[in-house]
């Protein structure tokens, strides 16, 4: 697991965007690479007061955001957001998505096997808004992962970012 955290010093003239005060602190923001590329990564993180950005892609690439790895980590750190790549919760069965029932069974089993990672992700939600970064929007993956998180402990809200 790759984790980056930190906060850079800011100049006296730096403006900070206020987080979305309507957002429940125990929220999950679901975002795809395409939508974040369109809306802007820093805008989305600031606007929603994200404290943790959890990357659920098999292999993280930062070019879709117009950044190399170093630029991505610098931006996230500058915003005071903790980044984690949790490959263990990525969708390893994307090639089986054509057969919905089989795909559902594989994903449910996968998240049961990754119970420790699911519990760790659920605990982050209590620390403030979490953004889940997915390669694309696949309703079944979101549905099963959110159900697994809710089975650990309910009491959080979620919404999906749209263009």
Residue 98, domain CATH: 3.40.1010
The pLDDT assigned to 121 comes to: 97
- pTM comes to 0.82
The answer to whether residue 5 sits within a structural domain is: no
In a domain, 106, yes or no: yes
Asked, for residue 82, whether it belongs to a domain, the answer is yes
The residue ranges of the chain whose pLDDT is under 50 are 2-21
- Edge-to-edge strands of the sheet including 157-160? 2-4, 82-85, 52-55, 130-134, 27-32, 157-160
pLDDT of residue 72: 92
Domain region containing 86: 22-160
Q: Is residue 6 part of a domain?
A: no
Query: How many domains is the chain partitioned into structurally?
Result: 1
CA distances from 107 to 117, 119, 125, 140, 141 (A): 14, 16, 21, 9, 7
């Amino acid at each position: 697991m790759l984790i980056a955290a930190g906060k850079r010093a800011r100049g006296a003239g730096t403006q900070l965007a206020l987080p979305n005060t309507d957002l429940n602190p125990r929220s999950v923001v679901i975002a795809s690479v395409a939508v974040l590329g369109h809306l802007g990564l820093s805008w989305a993180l600031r606007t929603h007061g994200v404290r943790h950005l959890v990357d659920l892609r098999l292999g993280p690439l930062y070019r879709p955001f117009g950044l190399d790895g170093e630029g991505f980590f610098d931006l996230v750190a500058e915003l005071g957001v903790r980044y984690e790549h949790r490959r263990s919760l990525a969708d390893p069965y994307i090639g089986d998505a054509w057969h919905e029932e089989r795909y559902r069974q594989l994903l449910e089993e996968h998240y049961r096997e990754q119970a420790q990672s699911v519990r760790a992700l659920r605990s982050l939600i209590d620390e403030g808004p979490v953004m889940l970064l997915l390669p694309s929007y696949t309703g079944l993956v979101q549905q099963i992962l959110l159900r697994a998180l809710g089975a650990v402990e309910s009491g959080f809200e979620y919404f999906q970012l749209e263009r």
